[in-house]
Amino acid sequence: MTDGYLTDWPISKRFPHYTRANAGEVMGDPVSPLGWTYGWDGAMVLGMRDGWIRGGTHELSDFDPDHPETFGMFGGYFYLNLSSCRLQGVRNPGVTVEQLDMAFFGAHPDVPAYVAHPDDEKPHLVEKIAANTAWVMSASSWPEIDTDKSAAAALREARGDLTKYADAELLARVRSIRPMLHHLFEQHVISGSSAAVAPGILAVVGEGVGDPTIPMKLLAGVGDVDSALPSHALWAMSRVIRSDAALTAAFDEGLDGVLDRLKAISGGPALLADWAAFIDEFGSRGSNEWDINAESWESSPTVPLAALDRVRFQTDDESPEARHDVVASQRLAVTTEVRAKVVGNDELSAMFEAALIAANMMAYRERTKTTIVKVIHEARMAFRELGRRHAEAGNIANAEHVFMLLNSELDDFVRDPSAFRELLVQRMATHESLADIEPPFIIRDGQLPALRDWPRRTEVAAKPAMGVGAHIVGVSGSPGVVRGTAKIVLDTYDPTALEPGDVLVAPHTDPSWTPLFMTAGAVVVDVGGQISHAVIVCRELGLPCIVSATGATQLIPHGATVEVDGDTGVVTIIDLG
């Protein structure tokens, strides 16, 4: 281990704080060299920069031209530039740094306090910020992202059989995709940053009417959330299995070979057709889906198949439609209640109505994320085909080694792939060794230890589990109170311990986790903020959710009975089981 890694960026002197919050849960540990240099550096990093500029909170002069201070890469690990991100709270009169920290980072104790810099204040940007905020509070539709969604679907439809592409054609395909990533991430930044507006305004309204739980209740059941759609599709298939004895028996035998067994069972071919349609539509999803080297549901369907197997045990009254209808009805009731309370207060009433429209940004954020993940996936599958064929030909030692390339090396690789064989072997060994280290959660004041000094994960002391009566306090994400058996699930590839009604306790959740929500009675997450993907989907499915419950996966005993209070953000140990 050395002082750094081949993809490392320099630490910014102007913006010296970085965080893994809202970043570490969505990328590989560590990130592949190709994933960073193809997908991010020169593409999505620029999308982040341009999204902030378009939203009015930044201007081009705020950024280093070579390493724009949006994200960072250190030791192969992905970071968000916290200092630069906070300018949204400094320069936008309608948002505070504290509100932004809560929305994006939760209540993690290590987040450093904001310290003003002379160049932070830029009053000339206020007019542009105000115009963007006015749009957020009045946009009941966003046709541009619907067009982007259609373009992503067309890209998938045009893929065809990648095995018939020549190497140069595969390379041309991924080159054509890269500019799309820049554009789509700019869109995602607009929706993501704007998604913090409604919670901020509703928090003020809640204070005004004396009910701090209003933001959660009014952000639930918004509807049209793309990242919740896989759960609905899995539910529909699970009902087919549950109502058919032969299909149930096929799954009862175990997941190994179940898809083959279905071919010979009455009703099996129809279910397989539904399964194929599911993979075609949602196969781009997967853990660490921002990194092109990550397995997806298409390349490795184990996760959604296991989720389907779990969901089939749920009773019909736990359907996502029914859950959504409940929270949507509650949202309407609370809306009526708050409207009555703000009558006569014109300012508070106007804020409230604007916030209800701004809440659409929650759904827009999930749409822009889903769209860009589909496009990333098309590059992923092209690179996988490139790796497969050259591993099969003996030019490289392993198909996965293609992801150890840098974007700048792709042309040379296609010309002479065997010349990279030993280099990629060495890089893979180094890359795998990075997975054994624990990256700093916060880089404060630009102080980053040499990579060789980062602790090994096995050296990080585990926190002792809590006892009966003890509690952990996180951030309220989705309302409701549930008691259930806590199940610690550390990755989506091992959901088998989760039974209907269990409390899912996870280190982090990106949208690939959401099929597991169909089995859970509540969700508790170590990290995350009020607009994280887990929270938005839980609100749609009517699941109590607590995020930023620091250390929950260590502090909550597996198998204990816990009470999850999504209204207050408190998880209490009731019984050790």
DSSP 177-191: HHHHHHHHHHHHHHH
pTM of the model: 0.90
Strands of 481-488's sheet in order across: 471-473, 570-575, 561-565, 481-488, 503-506, 522-525, 545-547, 475-478
The residues, any chain, with a CB within 8 Å of residue 58's CB and separated by 6 or more, are: 49, 52, 84, 87, 125
Residue 1 is predicted with a pLDDT of: 44
What is the secondary structure of 191-206 as a DSSP string? HHHHTTHHHHHHHHHH
Q: How far apart are CA 91 and CA 122, in angstroms?
A: 7
Using CA atoms, how far apart are residues 301 and 327, in angstroms rounded to an integer? Answer: 31
C-beta neighbour count of 304 within 10 angstroms: 27
Residue 219: its pLDDT value, please?
86
Residue type, 156: R
Do residues 193 and 80 make contact, with C-beta atoms less than 8 angstroms apart?
no
Backbone Cα Rg of the chain? 24
Three-state SS at 163 = helix
- Dump the DSSP string for 348-398: HHHHHHHHHHHTHHHHHHHHHHHHHHHHHHHHHHHHHHHHHHHHHTTSSS-
Please name which of 186, 197, 62, 61 lies closest in space to residue 132, comparing C-alpha atoms: 197
The values of phi and psi at residue 566, to 5°, are: -70, -15
Question: CA dihedral in degrees (170, 176, 180, 183; nearest 10)?
Answer: 150
Mark the ranges of the chain whose per-residue pLDDT is less than 70.
1-2, 24-26, 103-108, 460-462, 493-496
* Element housing 443 (H / E): strand 442-443
Write down the pLDDT at residue 20. Answer: 86
Distance of CA 47 to the CA centre of its chain: 17
3 state DSSP class of 566: coil
- CA gap 492, 519 in Å, rounded: 13
Pair 499, 518: CB distance under 8 Å: no
State both tokens at 180: 């799309």
Task: Give the whole-angstrom CA distance, residue 562 versus residue 486.
Answer: 6
DSSP secondary structure, 270-283, as one string? HHHHHHHHHHHHHT
Predicted pLDDT of residue 108: 66
Residue 573: strand, helix, or coil? strand
Q: Give me the pLDDT at residue 94, please.
A: 78
Q: Using alpha carbons only, what angle is made at residue 8 by residues 451 and 390, rounded to the nearest 5 degrees? A: 105
Residues 202 and 217: their CA atoms lie apart, in Å, by: 10
User: Domains along the chain?
Assistant: 471-575 (3.50.30.10)
Amino acid present at 373:
V
Angle at the Cα of 257 (from 254 to 263), degrees rounded to 5?
A: 115
CA distance 314 to 499: 9
Count of all residues that appear for the chain in the document: 577
pLDDT at 106: 61
- Number of helices (H), then strands (E), in the chain: 23, 12
What is the identity of the amino acid at 207?
E
Distances (CA, A) of 104 to 108, 185, 393, 405, 573: 11, 17, 46, 32, 27
